[in-house]
Amino acid sequence: MPSTPRNRLGDLERAVMEELWSTADAHPEGRTVREVHDSIGVERGLAYTTLMTVLDRMAKKDLVTRERDGRAWRYTPASTRAELTSESLHHTLGELAGDTRRSALLHFLDESTPEEIDELKAALAELEARRPDQRRA
């Protein structure tokens, strides 16, 4: 992927979330822009204001929540990584109405019910019987 400004911003948001997630247990009260900058900004040669802007944007996108602490904001992840992952997988299935859902993301397989898996296994067994050359030893 060429390093477009958009991708760099995506990478930076990712790094910030990683930092907030990995320190969430040690710092349940959240982290300030200064602390985040010290952890991930300095080594990347980023300006303090860059991280301030990124965190502000992420708060507006509801990825992080923030609380006033004196003159600074303290940022915490809005949800854990597991929650957000579940949510995003769930979104791929439920957020869109039927017609649009089928076209927005192309799934390898739509959801299927466990009861009907046997039918699939039978179809596979027939296929394997027809193609003995491709059977695994």
Partner 1 sequence: MLVVAGLVALAVLLAWPVPRALARVTSLRRAPRAALVLWQSTAVAAVLAALLAAPAALPALLGREVRLSQSWPTVTVAALLSAVVAVRLLLSGDRVGRNLRAARRRHRDLVDLLGTPGEGADRHMRVLEHTTPTAYCVPGVRRRVVLTQGTLDRLGPDELTAVLAHERAHLAARHDLVMEFFTVVHEAMPPWLRSEAALREVHLLIEVLADRAAVRRAGAVNTGRAIVAMAGGPKPVGAMAMADSTRVASARIQLLDADRIAGLPVGVVAATMYAASAVLVAVPLALYGLAIAELSLV
Give residues in contact with partner 1 (CB under 8 A): 1, 10, 13-14, 17, 63, 81-82, 84-86, 88-96, 99-100, 102-114, 116-117, 119-124, 126-128, 130-131, 134-135
Smallest distance, Å, CB 45 to partner 1?
Answer: 21
Which of residues 69 and 95 has its CB atom nearest to partner 1 in the complex? Answer: 95
Please identify, using beta-carbon distances, which residue of 22 and 112 lies nearer to partner 1: 112
CB-based burial label for 90 (10 Å; 0-12, 13-18, 19+)? exposed
Smallest distance, partner 1 to C-beta of residue 103, A: 4
| Residue 33: CB minimum distance to partner 1, A | 19
- CA-to-CA distance for 118 and 28, rounded, in angstroms? 47
Inter-axis angle of helices 48-60 and 5-22, nearest 10: 80
- What CA–CA distance (Å, rounded) separates 20 from 31? 7
